Amino acid sequence: VKVKLTLYMITSALSQLNRCRNPKMVDWTKNQPDRIYQWTVQEGGPAAYLRIKAGKTKSGRGVYKRKSPFVHMLFPDIKSAFMVLTNQAPLVEAVAKGFVVTEGAMEYSKDIGGFMQTIEAMLK
């Protein structure tokens, strides 16, 4: 349940960061075509997504089915997802240990990771 709630919170917070007019987020989203950023725990685990289109964002639960993700962060299991999403495993280490696999546009996955860190800093 913790991982599911965390995924939902992250995608909702990313969308709200844009809606609250965070200058960096607004600038990053404004020229993007219709793109899906997907987080999925494999083997039928929880999933959530962020849809970005021309400066607008929408978070959602589950797997987005209308198109393939532009960036897809895949976790092999709940434990790995929990370790990565709660920063108990640094991202470089998590990738090396197979806790997370990122498919798609790597430069944009770094950007979304930076916005996730922005949200984390706001919560401290």
Q: What is the pLDDT of residues 46-67, one digit of tens each?
A: 999 999 999 999 999 999 999 9
| The pTM of the whole model exceeds 0.75 | yes
Burial class (CB in 10 A: 0-12, 13-18, 19+), 18: buried
Q: Using an 8 Å Cβ cutoff, are 47 and 38 in contact?
A: yes
Average pLDDT over residues 66-95: 93
CATH T-level topology, domain 2-117: Nonspecific Lipid-transfer Protein; Chain A (3.30.1050)
* Count helices and strands in the chain by DSSP H and E runs: 5, 5
Q: Using an 8 Å Cβ cutoff, are 108 and 71 in contact?
A: yes
Does 109 or 16 have the greater pLDDT score? 16
**What order of strands is seen across the sheet that includes strand 35-41?**
56-61, 47-53, 35-41, 71-75, 101-104
Q: Is the pLDDT of residue 89 over 90?
A: no
Distances (CA, A) of 74 to 82, 83, 112: 12, 13, 14
The pLDDT assigned to 91 comes to 79
Average pLDDT over residues 31-52: 97
Q: Using an 8 Å Cβ cutoff, are 26 and 57 in contact?
A: no
Query: Considering only CA atoms, which of 22, 25, 87 is closest in space to residue 50?
Result: 25
Residue type at 56 in one-letter notation: K
